[in-house]
A and B are shown apart, each in its own frame.
Chain A
Amino acid sequence: MIAPLKDIIPAERARSTSFNEASARTRLELLLDAGSFVEFIGPEQREVSPHLRIFDLPEQFDDGIVVGHGRLDGSPVFVAAQEGRFMGGAFGEVHGAKLTGLLRAAREIGSIPVLILFDTGGVRLQEANAGELAIAEIMRAVMEARIAGAKVIGLIGGRSGCYGGGGLIAGCCSALAVSEPGRIAVSGPEVIETNRGVEEFDSRDRALVWRTMGGKHRRLLGAADVFADDTVQDFREAALELLSLVGPFGLDGLRAEQARLADRLRSFGGCEDAVDIWTAEGIAHAERVPELSADLFIALANRIGRTSRDAR
């Protein structure tokens, strides 16, 4: 049987498109079932930041985030995708409020999951107070949605990574998929170096940045459940896998997370470097982990078997 052409072409494009390099809109277009995406408050509504003009800075019509609904393998999903190239994907007042509203709807409905395609440096400096509070509201809304039964999945593989308050929101999600370029942290390398000196963290040492904050380390640590290769199709498959795996949220999950994190601190708290942690996890030749291809790495990560499932 020959599949209809329109079904083949998007999957082929998704397979050959780098998630990292694609725009937020392209990621959504190729992640969801073809033609299923509908945006809420699209760019034609021109709901721009009311604060950037104070700093004489250009606005973007969608304020750097695209939110809406679509279908994933036929099932309805809510989606939000940050554009990491506009102001580093940072959270401002409007940007954050769009995600908050989406999550509040997910809480009321309860059965429709939310996919968040993170790509952010954290709080937008020029509207720092509004951005910080937006992140607090989003964290609250993520938890309320999860308590109401909605799954909230984070996909992390954008060029701005997932930093600052974005890292905290990611920590509130039901599950995460991450690719190698997807970095997750609170303080960025430059911030640590500026505040604590180059001896604490050399932000120009890119290998150090990747192995401390990058996707492979986060997967091996159990901070992310699935490692995706850097294509939109891989993230689509990861999202589907996570949606099928995630269970309901409750107090047991929080207790399990407390135990999981306390155990991590006990086991690896004395490690100086990611390579020491990987070695302690039983990986031979841990120093070669950064070079491993996605396939080999996924096999390794699955063998080590550390996940945060039901413990977050």
Chain B
Amino acid sequence: MTLDDVLASLFPDGHDVRNDEGVVLGSAVLRSGTGMLVVGIADRTALGIDEAIRLSGYVLESVGRDTGPILVLVDSDSQRMSKRDELLGLNEFLAHLAKVLIHADMNGRATIGLLYGHSAAGALLATGLATRVLVGLPGADPAVMDLPSMAKVTKLSMEALEEKAKSTPVFAPGLSNLARMGAVHMTWSSAVSLAGQMEALLADMPAVQDKRDALGKERGGRVKAVDIAERVRDLALQTR
């Protein structure tokens, strides 16, 4: 789906969401009357310092004014790979965006990521993976690491990697692999109204606690993470 398709299906009564060179900012009112802040990155734009600061600023400005949930739309490239971005501290800008989203989520503004296109690496960490619930749409094609780059580093052929990818979701690109990890909570249907699916999610929003590791175990993608984290936590709590 294109950004316009997504927005039209989510907000059939209209919205004021604008796409300015890949930076998506605006708001909309759901049919239930709930106001929703909308931010995002579109058109497979790389997420660099210039984009990130606008997104974080827009969310911060809304604090105190708005109370509704925050939607983060994601169709990005990777983080912008450039000398200028790194020189000026891209890691701080991306972390800041993630922090603003996490802080809002923990202070009564539920955050929902909607991954409808591509995303990768640092861009995904600062957007979709910094929300409470990440939803995937059919056709989304996230890739933490693309197979040609992996082939180069691991010195394995593409065929060998593709063969290995059949037995594990742990490294290969794709929405279903991220879902099995617990990173993508649910995949919506693009055949029915997104508005209805959004209303249903908001009516039954999971608790603010991060349960992605438990989800990853349940789905068989990350069998060890939740148990290791629990064990370390228990041992650490005993030191009190």
Contacts and interface: CB of A to CB of B under 8 A. Distances in A.
Interface of A: 38, 40-41, 47, 50-51, 54-55, 67, 69, 76, 78, 93-94, 96-98, 100-102, 104-106, 108-109, 112, 123, 125-137, 139-141, 143-144, 147, 164-165, 167-172, 184-187, 191-192, 194-196, 200-201, 212-213, 217-218, 221, 223, 251, 254-255, 257-258, 261-262, 264-265, 268-269, 271, 273-274, 277, 312
A312 B82 CA distance: 24
B171 A127 contact: yes
B213 interface: yes
Interface residues of B, number: 78
Interface centre among B57, B60, B222, B232 (most CB of A within 10 A): B232
A180 to B, nearest CB: 17
A128 B78 CA distance: 14
B169 interface: yes
Given A101-B231, A186-B79, A51 B50 contact: no
B63 A258 contact: no
A135 B144 CA distance: 12
Nearest to B63: A251
B240 interface: yes
Interface of B is mostly: helix
In order of increasing CB-CB distance, the 9 nearest A-B pairs are: A171-B95, A101-B232, A167-B91, A105-B236, A101-B229, A136-B129, A97-B228, A128-B145, A97-B225
A133 B212 CA distance: 8
Interface centre among A38, A51, A101, A143 (most CB of B within 10 A): A101
Interface string B115-154: 0000001101110011000000000000011000110011
Contacts of B228: 41, 47, 94, 97-98, 101
A40 B232 contact: yes
B11 to A, nearest CB: 27
Interface string B67-104: 00000000000010111111111111111101110110
Interface stretch (B32-40, B178-186, B192-200): B178-186
Contacts of B89: 184, 218, 221, 223, 261, 264
A185 B182 contact: no
Given A187-B86, A261-B53, A271-B87, 9 more contacts: A40-B236, A93-B170, A125-B153, A128-B145, A147-B106, A165-B122, A212-B86, A254-B96, A268-B88
Contact of A139 (B79, B130, B178): B130
Contact of B154 (A76, A96, A106, A126): A126
Contacts of A47: 224, 228
A101 B172 CA distance: 26
A254 B97 CA distance: 10
A93 B222 contact: yes
B49 A265 contact: yes
Contacts of B170: 51, 54, 93, 126-130
B235 interface: yes
B213 A186 contact: no
A41 B85 CA distance: 38
A184 B93 CA distance: 13
B215 to A, nearest CB: 10
A78 B237 CA distance: 11
B45 interface: no
B210 A269 contact: no
Given A133-B183, A143-B103, A144-B106, A265 B129 contact: no
Interface centre among B57, B91, B94, B235 (most CB of A within 10 A): B91
A25 B172 CA distance: 32
Given A47-B228, A50-B223, A126-B171, A40 B83 contact: no
A277 B87 contact: yes
A137 B150 CA distance: 23
B184 to A, nearest CB: 10
B237 A168 contact: no
Contact of A261 (B93, B121, B237): B93
Contacts of B212: 133, 136-137
B224 A94 contact: yes
A179 B140 CA distance: 41
Contacts of B181: 129-130, 133
29 contacts: A40-B235, A40-B236, A54-B167, A94-B225, A97-B225, A101-B233, A109-B236, A126-B170, A129-B172, A129-B177, A132-B144, A136-B125, A137-B212, A143-B102, A144-B210, A164-B122, A165-B122, A168-B122, A171-B94, A186-B90, A187-B122, A200-B83, A212-B87, A217-B87, A254-B100, A258-B100, A265-B49, A269-B84, A277-B87
B81 A133 contact: no
A200 B82 contact: yes
Contacts of B50: 265
